[in-house]
Amino acid sequence: MIVVVFIRGWYKLVDYLPSTNQLSTKVSVIVAARNEEGNISKTLDDLLAQCYDRQLTEIIFIDDHSTDRTSEIIKSYNGFGVKLIQLNEDRPLNSYKKKAIQTAIAESSGTLIVTTDADCRMGPHWLRAIVSLYEIKKYKMISSPVVYFEESSFFERAQSLEFLYLIGLGAATIGNGRPATCNGANLAYEKEAFYEVGGFSGIDDLASGDDELLLHKMAAEFANNIGFLKNSEAIVYTHAKGTLKEFIQQRKRWSSKSTRYKNKSIIVLGVFIWLFNLSIVVNIGMGCLNDLYLKVAFIQLLTKMAVEFLFLYGVTSFVNRRKLLLLVPVLSILHIIYIIYIGIAGNSGKYKWKGRMVR
């Protein structure tokens, strides 16, 4: 089973203990923001509370044409050394976020670029953990964990478990030496390496992919030089989507990146997973004609639950959310329908992101 390979990849990753030595890398933390007036102050406060040398830390926010008080709030932190860049594009773009990040990188002075989102939270040792791993391993890119928190409903808790599955899979592929996915809410890479792979060139026409598609470019150029930071202090926290509509739009955006994968093995893996889930539904339907199909579907479902539980046991233990495992039976069933739908919807048509209709 494919998930068994992922389990092996997850446990190949060693729990990292950050060095206590003095660190010397200049870091540029880059945050693209659009209409985040309700969240951005907490993110700013967390970034300013980092236990990392302020002389080696540059914080850059790029306001992507916000229509609320986002820019005003960022400007109020100017006295703390927070730099604001206001994106001013007079022609329509399909990838405003990539344009924002690329603009900020061009004006940054750090050796290491660290990206996160304007609605994220992080602990005071977040930045130090990332830089510590970078200085020891000299990775060209470092993916770090992102976790949902402060859930207020069953729907949000189910998203938390499913999201941990995705984060775990991304980490496992890096553990196996075949990087496939990461999350831009907690991503670091060398500025020089970014330019060596051509930045977002070739992927800048797609709205999404400032993280995953860049990872693929980095992996192609710098084989075996991509790392995952398996350390609880490096976790970035964000919120699940409050409604089904928001969730679907988000996952369509994430899935849309698969149309640009150049690594055929990732595409084959995705197709195999989609076909496996489709086969369960088909076998259930065929069960109306022959009980044998129902038995096959039942075995498939039990196998799916078992291996997903084993994989998620390690991931949820790492983030101290093991109670979410109680949702595995329900999530495994719902996940079948979700995979089939998103596999089709995410690769066709447009979706809404930050108030814009993009593709």
186: CATH: 3.90.550.10
Whole-Å CA distances, 59 to 102, 111, 130? 15, 13, 15
Ordered strands of the 82-86 beta sheet: 82-86, 57-63, 27-33, 112-117, 187-190, 141-143, 226-228
Boundaries of domain holding 160: 9-242
pLDDT at residue 251, rounded to an integer = 84
Residue 72 lies in a domain: yes
Residue 67 lies in a domain: yes
What total of structural domains would you count in the chain?
Answer: 1
d(CA 96, CA 4): 38
CB 240 within 8 A of CB 151: yes
pLDDT at residue 318, rounded to an integer = 96
Q: Dig out the tokens for 109 from the structure.
A: 């002075």
d(CA 28, CA 56): 8
Which letter, b or e, does each residue of 4-15 get, where b requires 16 or more Cβ atoms within 10 Å of its Cβ?
eebbebbeebee
pTM (2 decimals)?
Answer: 0.91
Please count the residues of the chain.
Answer: 359
Each residue's pLDDT tens digit in the chain (359 positions)?
677 888 999 999 999 988 888 999 999 999 999 999 999 999 999 999 999 999 999 999 999 989 999 999 999 999 899 999 998 876 666 678 899 999 999 999 999 999 999 999 999 999 999 999 999 999 999 999 999 999 999 999 999 999 999 999 999 999 999 999 999 999 999 999 999 999 999 888 777 778 999 999 999 999 889 999 999 999 999 999 999 888 988 888 777 776 667 666 777 777 888 899 999 999 999 988 888 999 999 999 999 999 999 999 999 999 999 999 999 999 999 889 888 888 787 666 565 656 555 55
Residue 261 lies in a domain: no
Positive or negative torsion for Cα 192, 194, 196, 198: negative
